[in-house]
Structure 1
Amino acid sequence: MTMHSDQLDVSAETVAALIRDQFPRWSGKAIRPLASTGTVNAVFRIGEGLSARFPLRPSDVGGALAVLEREARASAELARVSRFPVPQPVALGRPGAGYPMPWSVQTWLPGTNAFDADPSASNAFAQDLAAFIAGLRGADTRGRRFDGGNRGGVLADHDDWMATCFRESEALLDVDRLRRLWHRFRELPRTSADVMSHGDLIPGNVLVTGDRLGGVLDTGGFAPADPALDLVSAWHLLRPGPREVLRHALSCADLEWERGKAWAFEQAMGLVWYYAESNPVMSAMGRRTLDRILAAE
């Protein structure tokens, strides 16, 4: 089952044709589709050192290319401030071989994603995660502010989306209790200036080596946002003990901590119902995050 009604089909044969036509220096390298819980891109490994990402949904080609160019700049900027491995942008591809969208090539990072190597009980991983977040927060915003897209601005701006989530979740979750919780979350005020943020620290974007943070993926969203936004990782990735390790390492005050919980709640509510059939792993992650949040109330 596809995840989106307008989802594009991307095969290894298509990827091979695109590479042969646009990047012949990589022709002959093995091309392997990667099983992924990701919801935005199909990912293929090219040889041993590269990966290619192909948008799963059609959109305006010019606009999509502008997004990929912006993401490449953001990834390169994040790489300059991260002490942990992150992918480096390598090239941008254009439509062709029956595939209608631009696409991107990055360096490949070794490691196991946090869905498959659960680091939730590791204090050392929590310390590493805090160090990664602190490194991003310390980067210069260069006068930029949150751009108004997705999460990271005003919680109450998501009321319409949350109403949709509550309606679609009636048969799946204790919606009355969750509505009451959102009513409290949406009122939490913003008191801190934007900082640089990864923006989507979920298990599929985090690599684990042993019980430590081995690298971070999907870095194209690196941008200014609410300092609490990257605290979603506390709820998506950690159990109570390591969660407190992360909180202490980042010196989170109560309000910032609650706002991080609120952003995790907003994200998790959408995952449960939207991917219930098409991406059960992501749906289950949303449920687990909600369970952790409710247990902490």
Structure 2
Amino acid sequence: MPAVDPALVRRLLRAQFPRWADLPVTPLASGGTVNAVFRLGDDLTVRLPRTAEDVAGEARILGALDGLPVAVPAVVALGEPGEGYPWPWAVHGWLDGSPAVEGRAGPAARELAEFVLALRANTVDGPRAYRGKALSTVDGATLQAIEELSGTDEPFDAGKARAAWAEALDAPQWTGPPCWLHSDLMPSNLLLRDGRLTGVLDWATAGLGDPAADLIPAWNLLTAKTRQDFRELVAADDATWARARGWALSMAVIQLPYHRHTNPVISANARYVLTELECVPAP
């Protein structure tokens, strides 16, 4: 596969969408690992997946959902494999804002809760969300990651992590109808302007499932105080809150060993989650 860089973007545009081929192409810095994103002119972005993804399916999801209180990417065009690049890709509308940073988005707790509830209220059919299934489906991977992380020099209390994970697994499972979820509400997918949530990016994992998965920002973004505000606003019961804590823990312990030397954005976020979950030894 060729290097995923502005030159590739320009070749793809020239071959498939020549009306945009002469616009400036600028790589966007991101902690994400699934897509390479480039700003195209002033009003567009080009997103090239780094692995095979259902780009058309994501476009259908974005077109079907309504009533959301924040902006989501507008699908402007869908590209085909070409120029040595093997997968479908997309051109989206540009969304203003800066990615959220863990611990610094307190005022956005209300907007985040409003977004989660509005998304959940959608009733159109859809696929299963990436994290929409039972927490037990990632039990083996989570326990393995806890062991791996405990063998590193990271400050980490494996005993507390195992206890927190066991508590999450013991929580009653979701028995209501599947809800619409984004299922990857990492800070890098949340856009803020003047401290307020204005946009949500990257809908490749969205679909139907257990609402607990969209409460993960309580630990990967918010602080202890705003976390409680968020919980009250989304009216999370004890079982759903416990499963959400489990998802946050699972993501953090899986991400940190893998990314701690290669992706400072994801590793910093994983450390923040483990600190908020009190799985880091006290100084």
TM-score (norm 1): 0.87
Which consecutive unaligned segments of at least 5 residues does structure 1 have? 1-6
Aligned to 2:131: 151
**Secondary structure of the equivalent of 2:29?**
coil
* Alpha-carbon offset, residue 91 of structure 1: 1.4
Aligned to 1:4: none
**Secondary structure of the equivalent of 1:32?**
strand
Structure 1 253/70 Cα, relative in aligned 2: closer, same or farther at 3 Å?
Answer: same
The amino acid across from 2:120 in the alignment is R
Decide which of 194, 197, 203 is 1:219's aligned counterpart.
203
The CA RMSD measured in Å over matched residues stands at: 2.0
Task: Kindly tell me the number of residue pairs found equivalent between the two proteins.
Answer: 276
**Secondary structure of the equivalent of 2:204?**
helix
Distance 1:212 1:8 in 2: 38
Decide which of 162, 170, 174 is 1:187's aligned counterpart.
170
* Alpha-carbon offset, residue 220 of structure 1: 3.2
| Deviation readout 1:263-287 (Å, 9 max, x if unpaired) | 1111111111111111122011011
Which consecutive unaligned segments of at least 5 residues does structure 2 have? none
Aligned to 1:210: 194
Pairs within 5 Å for 1:196-207: 196-207=180-191
* Alpha-carbon offset, residue 55 of structure 1: 1.5
Aligned to 1:272: 256
C-alpha contact (below 8 Å) 1:137/1:195 kept by paired residues:
yes
| Deviation readout 1:112-168 (Å, 9 max, x if unpaired) | 1013x9633x2x3111111001101111044x5x73x64221111112211331232
Decide which of 6, 13, 20 is 1:12's aligned counterpart.
6
Matched, 1:137 2:135: no
Aligned to 1:26: 20
Distance 1:134 1:91 in 2: 29
* Alpha-carbon offset, residue 234 of structure 1: 0.9
* Alpha-carbon offset, residue 8 of structure 1: 6.7
Structure 1 106/132 Cα, relative in aligned 2: closer, same or farther at 3 Å?
Answer: same
C-alpha contact (below 8 Å) 1:156/1:187 kept by paired residues:
no
C-alpha contact (below 8 Å) 2:167/2:242 kept by paired residues:
no
**Secondary structure of the equivalent of 2:197?**
strand
**Fraction of identical pairs, as percent:** 36
Aligned to 1:161: 141
Distance 1:245 1:113 in 2: 21
| Deviation readout 1:91-110 (Å, 9 max, x if unpaired) | 11122223222211111101
Distance 2:279 2:162 in 1: 16
Matched, 1:94 2:80: yes
Q: Which moved further from structure 2: 92-101 or 106-115?
A: 92-101
Matched, 1:72 2:56: no
Aligned to 2:104: 119
* Alpha-carbon offset, residue 51 of structure 1: 0.8
Matched, 1:230 2:214: yes
Distance 2:8 2:100 in 1: 29
Structure 1 25/118 Cα, relative in aligned 2: closer, same or farther at 3 Å?
Answer: farther
Aligned to 1:253: 237
C-alpha contact (below 8 Å) 1:53/1:103 kept by paired residues:
yes
TM-score (norm 2): 0.91
| Deviation readout 1:31-58 (Å, 9 max, x if unpaired) | 001111011011111111111111223x
The amino acid across from 1:284 in the alignment is A
* Alpha-carbon offset, residue 247 of structure 1: 0.9
Matched, 1:44 2:38: yes
